[in-house]
Amino acid sequence: MSAASVDLCIVGGGSFGSALALVVAGRGRRVRMWVRRQEQADEINREHTNKPYLEQRRLPDEVSATCDMQEAVAGTPVVLMAVPSKSFREVARSVGEHIRGDQVLVHATKGIEVPTFSRMTQILREETCALKIGVLSGPNLAAELVQGHPSGAVIASRYDEVVRSVQALFAGAHLRVYGGRDVVGVEFAGAFKNIIAIAAGVADGFGFGDNARSLVITRGLSEMALMGSSLGGDVFTFGGLAGVGDLVATCNSKLSRNHQVGERLAQGQDLDTILRGLRFVAEGVPTTDAVHRRAASIGLRLPICEAVHSVLFQGCSATSAMQMLMTLPVGDELSALRYR
């Protein structure tokens, strides 16, 4: 399959990248994946499987894989990056060696670069020459996408062409992709919900039930909207798929890695042990650190984020963090947003 005949290049062979490849190729579109390891590429090309992430699920014949970034990226109309935020810049720089100005470059990474507090699209601008950039986000648990269950996402970009191109790739699929312009809001919501998912996991780990989880979700949403809008996001974005949509899915799902981190924290495990035991990256952990620092620097009070940070990085127990949250003075529910 030559690059010119490929409809979509997915950079990253993890669970979400593989799930997206499955969805797009399932509609007859040709997908080329860039993966780090040659064995993984060989497995995808020969066996049409990606067992570490998709178990026995077979990938369509339209999916191919390569470890050669040039082969993956050059000439492909749309390039979609799905790699963890920690390695995002390094991989983006490599993409930047081969991408050209007419190509569309989007990502589906829900995180923040900790040292710089950069969003992923900002990294794409710094590391590539691409201008037609966007972000794909929403309640899209990889395992459910793979099973073919109905799902929704949003593609946000300042460029109509980016929105149209990505929507066209998913046209007719069980993943309905809506368009949007608010790149900042969508990216921030995608990153921030992972912090709240950890808190929801803690509540579930304590066995508090649906009321408590709902409390965490709605107060978490309020914190997301407060900080997201102060960074330039549109407050309505947080009521959409990338905001409350993703938040509800992640906080209610046992499949969410960040939720799992929270549950184990409630069980008294320490962070190092939890992270060693996880097969995949939990983006919520570094994001909590990045968001906590930025919120402090701009003078925003985000109680749930602070509580999660105290448990993850300050040696506070989940029990005392929960107590601290429950003893905070209560005020008007929407005052932080309404009277900004």
Q: What are the catalytic residues?
A: 193
Smallest distance, Å, CB 91 to other proteins? Answer: 14
Residue 102 CB, shortest distance to other proteins, in Å, is: 4
CA distance 256 to 201: 9
Alpha helices in 150-209 (DSSP H): 160-170, 183-205
Nearer CB in complex with other proteins: 118/250: 118
Tell me if 157 sits within 8 A of 106, measured CB to CB. yes
Minimum distance of other proteins from residue 164's CB (angstroms)? 10
Choice between 51 and 93, CB closer to other proteins: 93
Closer by beta carbon to other proteins, 129 or else 328: 129
> Residue 295: phi, psi to the nearest 5?
-60, -40
DSSP-assigned letters across all residues of 205-239: HTT--HHHHHHHHHHHHHHHHHHHHHTT--GGGGG
CB of 131 to other proteins, least distance (A): 6
C-alpha torsion angle, residues 36, 82, 121, 163 (rounded to 10): 130
Radius of gyration of the chain (CA): 20
Name the residue nearer to other proteins (CB basis): 130 or 224. Answer: 130
- Angle, vertex CA 322, rays to CA 320 and CA 324, nearest 5: 70
Q: What minimum distance in Å lies between the beta carbon of 30 and other proteins? A: 19
Report which of 47, 78, 83, 53 is spatially closest to residue 65, judged by C-alpha positions.
47
Question: Residue 259, exposed/middle/buried by CB under 10 A (0-12, 13-18, 19+)?
Answer: buried
Residues that bind other proteins (CB under 8 A): 93, 96-97, 100-102, 125-129, 131-132, 158-161
Residue 110 or 132: the one with the smaller Cβ distance to other proteins is: 132
